[in-house]
Amino acid sequence: MFRATVAICGRTVVKRFISSVSGESALPSNLRLPSNLIGVPREKRPPPSGSEHPLLRRCEAEIPAHLAPSQTWLHSLNSCDSETLGVVDLHPDVFSVPVRLDILHAVEVWQRNFKRISHAKVKSRAEVSGGGRKPWNQKGSGRARQGSIRAPHWRGGGVAHGPRGPTSYYYMLPMKMRVQGLKIALTSKLAQDYLHIVDSLEIPTPDPAYLMDLIKQRQWGDSVLIVDVGDEFPQNLLKATENLMTVNVIPAIGLNVHSILKHESLVLTLETVKFLENKLLWHDVRYSPLYPFKLPYNDLP
Amino acid sequence: MSLFGGLLRSTVTFCRSPSLLLCTRHFTTGSCSRVRMHAIPKLKEVDRWTEKRSMFGVYDNIGILGEFKAHPKDLIKGPVWLKGFYGNELQRLIRKKRMVGDRMMTEDRHNLEKRISFLYRRFNRYGKHR
């Protein structure tokens, strides 16, 4: 037995020695990807730097002196093979905030729960039909004393502590927390290379296959959320995305953390970026409300 | 595999020392497959990209992004007395009676009133919290 254990120990020692000596890769075997894996890994395009690309948009709001604007490419949806049009500046206080995952989680959970109304309801012993009369005398019958046939321990009786009536799970997070959640979501998308800025949403054909081709060729991911300001969208885009389930178009007012997290990639137009920066930066410099914001203020935009 | 346990045992018996036999434990590294492979229920297939699921949460920030003309609580679909309201059972029932009580049917109204008086007595008269 001793010889057997020595032999086993020797084998493992030899394996480790071989792997350290060969030095193919420091990754353990369960993290190494096989070489015949289907599916091309995303090639990260290096972020724009240097002055050779034209700067097509500067931030309207003032950027603090100690921060520099984050830059990203500007694409166009017009043709599959078109290269980037240039470089766009994004405000650092919206697109590179420190990523607080706890705030993101709190906002996502809030979105799931505040609208929830659970309609589960069971009848209590008072609501079940019948059961007003005492089934048998208190004393003399030999059976246990019972007061009604709809008591909770009876078959067909009411439930003692069941769900009662439509219940709401409504609560509100502080406004600044919800705003910060949006900023963090946008920051994470930019940092993970899933945020794409587009000049306009015009496409040449209303064919959904064109969009899928474009998305596949540019490696935008499985699902795309397209955001634009205003009510009118180009007809071609609406027709193309009508039957596509993973590519969705929403107005800028409808942007929210859950949709950003659900869709793999986010596409914003230049007007959307301006709108978002305007709305989200205001909360950093506003006074706390004396009365709800829905009532008129003379200095609110 | 279980071969190895057998091998170990055989080497021990070959050594023929009683102390070593007592030291070994019977072990096996294989499984006898007690899992009944034909009776495992199938996973239910959930489509994660239906209209409802892909559009969930849209307009939740309508106040922040939309100049505060609407509030997210206006988006809630449900009974009138629960929109934008959170409370325990007694508070919900009292609110229901105030808002919708005139329109209710007689039996429902009677049950509501019985439940309100029962909960009032339970919260305010018995127990530690009153």
Q: Is B85 on the interface with A (CB under 8 A)?
A: yes
pLDDT for the residue B101: 96
**Short-list A48, A45, A56, CA closest to A85:** A56
* pLDDT confidence of residue A2: 63
Quick: pLDDT tens for B45-62: 999 999 999 999 999 999
Looking at every residue in chain A, the average pLDDT score rounds to: 89
Sequence-ordered list of residues with C-beta below 8 angstroms from that of A173, at least 6 positions apart, any chain: A106, A107, A110
> Quick one: pLDDT at residue A25?
61
Q: Which residues of A touch B7 (CB under 8 A)?
A: 4
Say if the Cβ atoms of A259 and B58 lie within 8 Å: yes
Which residue, among B61, B83, B92, would best test binding to A if mutated, counting the most A CBs under 10 Å from its CB?
A: B61
Query: Which is higher by pLDDT, B23 or A28?
Result: A28
User: A22-31, A71-80, A86-95, A245-254: which range is least confident on average?
Assistant: A22-31
pLDDT of residue A249: 96
The more confident residue out of A39 and B51 is B51
The type of residue at A101 is: L
Contact A178 B85 (CB under 8 A): no
B84 touches chain A (CB under 8 A): yes
Query: Would the pLDDT of A15 be above 60?
Result: no
Lowest mean pLDDT among A16-20, A79-83, A135-139, A275-279: A16-20
Q: Give residue B29's pLDDT band: very low, low, confident or very high (50, 70, 90).
A: confident
Residue A4, classified by CB atoms within 10 Å of its CB into exposed (0-12), middle (13-18) or buried (19+), is middle
Residue bearing the bigger pLDDT, A100 or A11: A100
Q: What is the pLDDT of residues A193-248, one digit of tens each?
A: 999 999 999 999 999 999 999 998 898 999 999 999 988 999 999 999 999 999 99
In terms of C-beta distances under 8 Å and separation of at least 24 residues, what long-range contacts does A153-157 make, across chains too?
A156/A128, A157/A125, A157/A128, A157/A131
Q: Is B12 on the interface with A (CB under 8 A)?
A: yes
User: With contact defined as beta carbons under 8 Å apart, do A111 and A256 qualify?
Assistant: yes
| pLDDT for residue B100 | 96
Which of A182, A253, A257 lies nearest to residue B62, judging by beta carbons? A253
Give A38's pLDDT tier (boundaries 50, 70, 90): low
Cα distances (angstroms) measured from residue B52 to each of B56, B57, B62, B69? 6, 10, 18, 25
Of A1, A127, A170, the CB nearest to B20: A1
The residue ranking higher by pLDDT, B30 or A103, is A103
User: Chain A to chain B, count of Cβ pairs less than 8 Å apart?
Assistant: 118
- Tell whether pTM > 0.90: no
Residue-level pLDDT at A35: 74
A252 touching B (Cβ < 8 Å): yes
Q: Which residues of A237-275 are buried (b: 16+ CB within 10 A; e: fewer)?
A: beebbeebebbbbbbbbbbbbbbbbbbbbbbbbbebbbb
What is the spatial distance between Cα A47 and Cα A74, in angstroms, rounded to a whole number? 11
- Complex ipTM more than 0.85, yes or no: no
Residue of A nearest to B11 (CA): A1
From the CA of A216, how many Å to the nearest CA of chain B?
18
Confidence of residue A29 (pLDDT cuts 50, 70, 90): confident
> Does the pLDDT at position B1 exceed 50?
no
Are A251 and A229 in contact by the 8 Å Cβ rule? The answer is yes
CB contact under 8 A, B85 and A168: yes
Q: How much is the pLDDT for B5? A: 47
User: What proportion of chain B, given as a percentage, has pLDDT over 90?
Assistant: 65
pLDDT band at B7 (very low <50, low <70, confident <90, very high): low
Residue B11 CB contacts under 8 Å (≥ 6 apart), including other chains: A1, A3, A4
Residues 6+ apart with CB under 8 A from A295: none
Q: Please identify among residues 70-129 of chain A the ones whose CB lies closer than 8 Å to any CB of chain B.
A: 111, 114-115, 117, 124, 126-127
Check residue B36 and give its pLDDT: 82
CB-based contact (8 Å) between B94 and chain A?
Answer: no
For residue A253, the model assigns a pLDDT of 96
Mean pLDDT of chain B: 86
Q: Residue B11: which pLDDT band, with cuts at 50, 70 and 90? A: low
Cβ <8 Å between A172 and B72:
yes
